[in-house]
A and B are shown apart, each in its own frame.
Chain A
Amino acid sequence: MSPSRRVSWLERLEALGRVLEDGLLVVGLGALVLIASGQILLRNVFSIGLVWADGALRLIVLWLALLGAMAASRDNRHIAITVIDRFLPDGLRRAAFVVRQLFTSAVCAALAWYSWLFVRDSREFGDTLLGDWPAWWFQIVMPVAFALIAYRYLLRALGALRPAR
């Protein structure tokens, strides 16, 4: 496979990932708004409560948090202390960049692995949420998101290590 074809394949995957991220964020936030306000309407007008609604809202927040974290990784907008960077000489700044990308990638890879263990246990024990839905269906977002964030930071580190042409 030639390098140029591989790049374009990766780029297409990146674009697809971004669309998917945005789509899921819109759907998730939309559901959050509708379920939360629908619940108020039902309770005050019809005196009905949806048993699953509160649990669902909290799970949507978890999903939004992790999707938002993925988006923040893509846009490089996680909260960090960025003071010292601007005072470093060029070479050192590049080294610092690579070190922190690799560090973050390693931490997220570990988080992905341990969340996977958590999900696996939850599946084996047959944990359920929102009535009797398997809990791991909702929890699986954790290992997936952390793995993708790890991938994102690794990619950025490799990008900086590659000699500029």
Chain B
Amino acid sequence: MAGSSVFLVLLALIGAPLFAIIAAGAMIGFSREEIDLSVLAIEFFGIAETPVLVAIPLFTFAGFLLSEGKAPQRLVRLSRALLGWLPGGLAMISLAVCALFTAFTGASGVTIIALGALLYPALVEAGYERRFSLGLITTSGSLGLLFAPSLPLILYGVVAETPIDDLFLAGILPGLLMVALLAGYGFIRNRHTATPPAGAREVLAAVLEAKWELPLPVVVLGGIYSGYFAISEAAAVTALYVLVVEMLVLREIRWRELPRIVRESMVLVGAILTILGMSLASTNYLIDTGVPQRLFELTSQYVSGPRTFLVALLVFLLILGAILDIFSAIVLVVPLIVPVAVGYGVDPIHLGIVFLAAMELGYLTPPVGLNLFIASHRFQQDIVHVYLATVPFLLVLLVSVVIITFWPALSLVFVG
């Protein structure tokens, strides 16, 4: 057992695809129990038996399509017209717009690429320090993971078998807390960078220009939160709406670009769902052999109460987030820690929000945070420079994650 685990960890560390690592682990486990390995195929086929997964390709495609057109420009113009006059206003705009955008695109790095190119020069031009601006944009790239309909929220719901609508509600206040604390930091650092207020004419023009995108959050979020749409239905409406608006109404994307955009978005979907499919099998093996139970017994020897458990969990998640991407972390770790957390009386919904909030920090943690690499590449900055620029924001987010962890009511207040 130990020998093969070490071997697999080594292979993972030298960059073997994680789905293959998980599949190999499941195969080794099942063959030791003398179970026919066709079980892997049967479990993988479970992808076709989980209705809510229909939402994943639809939302991902809609997000990729939105980022290809001029929707990001219009969104920035509109929020500038509305909030640009506030001290530190442009920093707030960047945070708000990126959070909204990330909720739809699922923190795959698209936000930094699509919005960073607009916001970074705008921030520098408005008199914000370069270093502050770089850190802000890098941080904003994964902000919004806690807002519906983000992919990690959906995936957590699938894996932890908790209602996704409840997760969508639970994410609102913790997500707002993160944005608010970062905006507060932006305000303190940049009190003097107010720009003159935009006239009513500019506000109106910006609203009119964005008239096709504006209904989208209302339809999606309103539809889901009011219970009018199931999540997969909201995803279908979003995809169809974005497709019609971008391709037929505004015609910002050429038809021959479409296969490339479909491919790009489905590469991400394929990568996530293959890992999920493999982990359906490996998780079953772990549960059959009683690993979560043993894990709980082991932790309860060292960790006494729920509060100590949350401290230990937070430390564990911060380390995990620095090594593993959010999607793999969800499918691999969540099935193991949910039973343990429930044993300590932690609500699985609250656990989900803590999990995702902590993993959000992982995007920014040196040396491997994904956003750090994307920002370094996108803005042609040395990676160490990006590390240093991002550290203050990382600390602010850490504070918010600690608050989210030890204040369960913040997550659970709207959950019935």
Contacts and interface: CB of A to CB of B under 8 A. Distances in A.
Contacts of A117: 36, 38, 41
Interface string B1-41: 00000000001111111111001100100000000111011
Interface residues of B, number: 64
B164 to A, nearest CB: 16
Interface of B: 11-20, 23-24, 27, 36-38, 40-42, 44-45, 47-51, 53-54, 56-58, 61, 229, 232-233, 235-237, 239-240, 243, 258-260, 262-263, 266-275, 277, 323-325, 327-328, 367-368
A21 B270 CA distance: 12
Given A33-B243, A80-B15, 19 more contacts: A25-B263, A57-B232, A61-B47, A61-B54, A64-B57, A64-B270, A65-B273, A68-B266, A68-B267, A71-B266, A80-B18, A81-B18, A84-B14, A114-B41, A115-B40, A117-B36, A118-B38, A118-B42, A121-B38
A76 B75 CA distance: 33
Given A111-B40, A118-B42, A57 B54 contact: yes
A110 B27 contact: yes
A62 interface: yes
Chain B binding surface, main DSSP class: helix
Shortest beta-carbon contacts, A-B, top 3: A68-B270, A36-B236, A65-B273
Interface of A: 21-23, 25-26, 29, 32-33, 36-37, 39-40, 54, 57-59, 61-62, 64-72, 75, 77-85, 96, 99-100, 103-104, 107-108, 110-111, 114-115, 117-119, 121, 138-139, 142
Chain A binding surface, main DSSP class: helix
B269 to A, nearest CB: 5
Contacts of A115: 38, 40-41, 44
Contacts of A58: 47-51, 53-54
B47 A99 contact: no
